[in-house]
């Protein structure tokens, strides 16, 4: 198997990627914690490519990276690429978002989408594959469910009549922004492996 570095120090993110890419010919490993990349891009795709490229060059290894976040229509796409930096904790981020949407009681005014960009870089840092996944939904007026993380308790998907935090892992994986992006990238990774890397 060929090693594929996941450009994160988060073991949870590694497990999530492994679940999506379990049938691939790649062996996933975390990047070293001390290797940090500043997310200076102005889009999710730019940040994913930046992280994948810089880690690949530093380690001379194939690398996969993602960047994702929540875009709320009524807030002109905020928090967007600043989703993780919107406040200091998941609870504070949710509280801030709900406060900012307090003047929008109608679900039609609370439309939003989760976006995930994934990029795979060759050892020389050039991008070999990239994809973006989007999941449309709306922001609830209060949290629901106990699973998931981040904004999952307030992101509601009308087609499933569930918040992300109420979904089973399999259901969430099948419709989520990350699931969509990784499904596309996994096919590209399979092609790269079959081409002999």
Summarize pLDDT for 77-114 with one digit per residue, the tens: 999 999 989 999 999 999 999 999 999 988 899 999 99
Q: How far apart (Å, rounded) are the C-alpha atoms in residues 41 and 181?
A: 19
Does the pLDDT at position 73 exceed 80?
yes
pTM of the predicted model as reported, rounded to 2 decimal places? 0.91
| Average pLDDT of the residues of the chain | 92
Q: Give yes or no: 124 in active site.
A: no
Q: What's the pLDDT score for residue 182?
A: 93
User: Structure tokens of 143?
Assistant: 């949290």
Q: What's the pLDDT score for residue 197?
A: 63
Annotated active-site residue in 38, 67, 90, 195? 67
Q: Over range 107-134, report the average pLDDT.
A: 96
What tens digit of pLDDT does each residue of 155-174 get?
Answer: 999 999 999 999 998 899 89
The closest alpha carbon to 22, from 130, 131, 173, 150, belongs to: 173
High-pLDDT (> 70) share of the chain, %:
99
Three-class secondary structure assignment of 64-114: EEEEEEEEEHHHCCCEHHHHHHCCCCHHHHHHHHHHHCCCCCCHHHHEEEE
Residue ranges and CATH numbers for the domains of the chain are: 2-194 (3.90.950.10)
User: Structure tokens of 29?
Assistant: 């490993």
Phi-psi domain of 76 (left: phi exceeds 0; alpha: psi -120 through 50; beta: other): left
- Phi, psi dihedrals of residue 137, rounded to the nearest 5°: -170, -155
């Amino acid at each position: 198997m060929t090693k594929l570095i996941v450009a994160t120090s988060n073991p949870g993110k590694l497990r999530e990627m492994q679940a999506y890419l379990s049938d691939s010919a790649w062996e996933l490993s975390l990047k070293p914690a001390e290797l940090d990349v500043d997310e200076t891009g102005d889009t999710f795709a730019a940040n994913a490519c930046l992280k994948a490229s810089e880690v690949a060059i530093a380690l001379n290894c194939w690398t996969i990276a993602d960047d994702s976040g929540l875009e709320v229509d009524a807030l002109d796409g905020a928090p967007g690429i600043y989703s993780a930096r919107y406040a200091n904790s998941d609870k504070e981020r949710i509280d801030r978002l709900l406060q900012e949407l307090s003047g929008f009681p109608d679900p039609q005014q609370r439309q939003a989408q989760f976006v995930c960009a994934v990029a795979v870089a060759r050892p020389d840092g050039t991008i070999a594959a990239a994809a973006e996944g989007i999941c449309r939904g709306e922001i609830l007026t209060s949290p629901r469910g106990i699973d998931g993380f981040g904004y999952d308790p307030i992101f509601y998907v009308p087609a499933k009549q569930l918040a992300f935090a109420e979904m089973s892992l399999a259901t969430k994986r099948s419709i989520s922004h990350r699931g969509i992006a990784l499904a596309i990238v996994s096919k590209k990774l399979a092609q790269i492996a079959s081409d002999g890397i």
